Amino acid sequence: METNPCNNHVNGGSSIPSRVSRKTNSDNTIVNINGVKVGGSDIVIIAGPCAVESREQLFETARAVRMSGARILRGGAFKPRSSPYNFQGLGEEGLKLLSQIRKETGLPVVTEVMDTRQVELVSGYADMIQIGSRNMQNYPLLKEAGMGRKPVLLKRGMMATVEEFLLAAEYILNQGNEQVILCERGIRTFETSTRNTLDLSAVPMLKRLSHLPVIVDPSHGTGLRWMVPAMSKAAVAVGADGLIMEVHFKPEEALCDGYQSLNLDEFAQLMSDLKKIARAIGRKITLPEPSPV
């Protein structure tokens, strides 16, 4: 007898079929991002700058994170900034840079889409589209992403419960797109010493309730560069299928979120530690294919 209230609401207790639920599909869903599979025994690391700033910045960062073992490149072209006066991203120019760097490094790319009107454009360049924390309950956007065929990285709303998070994912699956990755990125609590409170208990909870892969964002989850390695290791240990983290070739010059971005050496060191943790729990971090550059 299931006693978890989430389960009762999301799937049990109701006759409405719930596509995200483990009860509907007991096998883990594997999300395939242009050949990189998330949700299997591999732990997949997604790394890159908060925002695409320039060709040099993206290329230098991508090449280095790839050498350290990242399998997917991140970088925002449309940025949801808290202040309208902050750098808003390069827009389509940023998307073009992402697809060029994908060609040069072989790394699939993930980038955020903020508006229903951008879904087609962003899907034309990206290998996976990201729906950010601020848009987790933008239902028209979720539906639009669900109507496409690109994998979707759905970030937990900063004020969303696990149940609301799963219901948001349900909107995407309900439109026919089952390639969804859930991302825990920290929630708002009374605590102010970190940017958000990284809810690592959501990882085993989501894995128990749903068949979808779960990854963790320790960068936005803490807002503190020095804490990112510790929380990354903890996330892998509690069963995350991957991590998405901010890495910049010159964090002190970053136009966005430099204070929570690892530099290239810190990332390389963390990757070597993560490989050991993955091995200890019977999983692995596979290096990318030999680089085309």
Sole residue written with tokens 């990757």: 271
Q: CA nearest 160: which of 170, 151, 146, 150? A: 170
Q: CA nearest 126: which of 109, 145, 114? A: 109
Q: Which phi-psi region, left, alpha or beta, contains residue 26 (left: φ > 0; alpha: ψ -120 to 50)?
A: alpha
**Residues 224-253, mask of contacts with ligand PEP (x by CB under 6 A):** ------------------------------
Stretch binding ligand PEP (CB under 6 A), from 126-134, 171-179, 207-215, 231-239: 126-134
Q: Is 50 in the site for Mn ion (CB under 5 A)?
A: yes
**Segment (H or E) for 286:** none
Query: Token pair for residue 55?
Result: 């060709």
Q: Is 155 in the site for ligand PEP (CB under 6 A)?
A: yes
| CB 136, min distance to ligand PEP, A | 8
Stretch binding Mn ion (CB under 5 A), from 7-15, 52-60, 141-149, 253-261: 253-261
The residue (of 76 and 242) whose beta carbon lies closer to ligand PEP is 76
The residue (of 227 and 275) whose beta carbon lies closer to ligand PEP is 227
The residue (of 27 and 191) whose beta carbon lies closer to ligand PEP is 191
Judged by CB under 5 A, the number of residues near Mn ion is 2
Q: What is the rounded CA–CA span in Å between residue 206 and residue 212?
A: 8
Angle at 221 between CA 218 and CA 225, to 5 degrees: 60
Q: Is 176 in the site for ligand PEP (CB under 6 A)?
A: no
Pairing of strands 31-33, 36-38: antiparallel
Which residues are near ligand PEP by CB under 6 A?
A: 50, 76, 80, 112, 132-134, 155, 185, 217, 220
